[in-house]
Amino acid sequence: MGLAVAVADRGLEDQLMWISSVLRTRRAAAGAVTAGLFLLLGGTASPSVADSSPSAGPSDDGDAPTEAGTSFRTATEIEQGRKATAGASTGDYLYWSFPADSGQRPTVRAKVKLPDAARSSSTWQIDVYDGLRRRQACQYGAQTRTAGTDAGSVDLSCTLRTVRAWSEPWANDPLPGTYYVRLTVTDLETADLGLPVDTEVRVDSKDAGGSAAVDGSLAEPLVPGVAMATDEEDEDDSDSSTAVLSSLEPDDGWASGWWSDRWVWTAVGGVLAALAGVGGYALTRGPGRPSRVPPPSS
């Protein structure tokens, strides 16, 4: 009888040890899954923060342009994040140009300070064109506004669609390269033509991240004259020149290519899937045999 009790106690001890090991395994799996979820939630917060902040740009406007061009070929180059000013007359067409790279969502803002001598209302409009001089639609913003006779200024804005690294030839998607801004008055009484106005233009961009990435890239950005560029450095030709009509580009260069943060999220998703599989197996597997099975009692 004493031997049977001892064997039973030993079997109970083994069962308790097995239950304890199972609980430890499940706690470890639950901790791994929880850590993975925190990693995912912490990582997903960063793109929204980056998307809500304008792109970094020069804060000092001391060297900003103080004039505007009168056509596409004479458009004044401006950098993103810097305000450009220009004095003009009502009825003039004012042109600026700026670079935009893939993944950016540019927003163009313009302000026109109206003359005090205006005797009628005026309607102002801002248009944005890409490097192929295709007019780009505004995703949102007040692209056209009418100012009354008592208005001191009028504010315009145009937010473009996200610039894509590649697109079909027949599509009108924004592509990396130079973009043109045209500001003019579209409705004005003849008596008010030629009155002096002051204008301000600023371009900022938000980073759309990997959600806007596509598989493909352009051979060259849509910069006017880039197809005419000649590279004859190896020939030591002193008369060689680069016929590029736009000299500005993003601070980090043109980044169109295969890399995007989608690769990071793909890797994170694979790790989380593996952790979820391990945790699910540990939580749902049936009871196994103890490491030591007591002999049957006689």
Note the pLDDT tens digit of each residue in 136-185.
999 999 999 999 888 889 999 999 999 988 888 788 889 999 999 999 99
**Helix, strand, coil shares of the chain as percentages rounded to 5?**
30, 25, 45
Phi, psi of 227 (to 5 degrees): -70, -20
Instruction: Select, from the ranges 16-30, 151-165, 250-264, the one with the highest average predicted confidence (pLDDT).
Output: 151-165
Q: CB pairs under 8 A, 24+ apart, for 22-27?
A: 22/287, 25/282, 26/282, 26/283
List, in sequence order, every residue forming a beta bridge with 77; answer none if it has no partner.
Answer: 97
- Residue 226 — pLDDT band, cuts 50, 70, 90? low
* Residue among 59, 52, 123, 58 at smallest CA distance from 90: 123
List the one residue out of 101, 94, 103 whose CA is nearest residue 127. 94
Task: Assign 149 to helix, strand or coil.
Answer: coil
Select from 1.10.1760, 2.50.20, 2.60.120, 1.10.10 the CATH code of 76-228: 2.60.120
Task: Kindly give the residue spans of alpha helices, DSSP state H, lying in the chain.
Answer: 2-52, 262-284
Tell me the C-alpha distance between 170 and 167, whole Å.
8
Q: Of 38-42, 158-162, 167-171, 192-196, which gets the smallest average pLDDT?
A: 38-42
Residue 11: pLDDT band with limits 50, 70, 90: low
Task: Supply 283's token pair.
Answer: 């939580």
Can you give the pLDDT at residue 86?
95
Contacts of 254 by beta carbon, 8 Å cutoff, 6+ apart: 101, 176, 221
Average pLDDT, the chain: 75
Strand partners, 202: 109
* pLDDT value for 178: 93
pLDDT given for residue 180 in this prediction:
96
Any residues with CB less than 8 A from the CB of 82 and at least 6 apart, and which? 57, 58, 61, 64, 202
Whose tokens are 């190896």? That residue is 234
CA dist 263 and 212 (Å) reads: 13
Rounded to an integer, the average pLDDT of 104-114 is 94
Closest CA to 23 of 291, 282, 274: 282
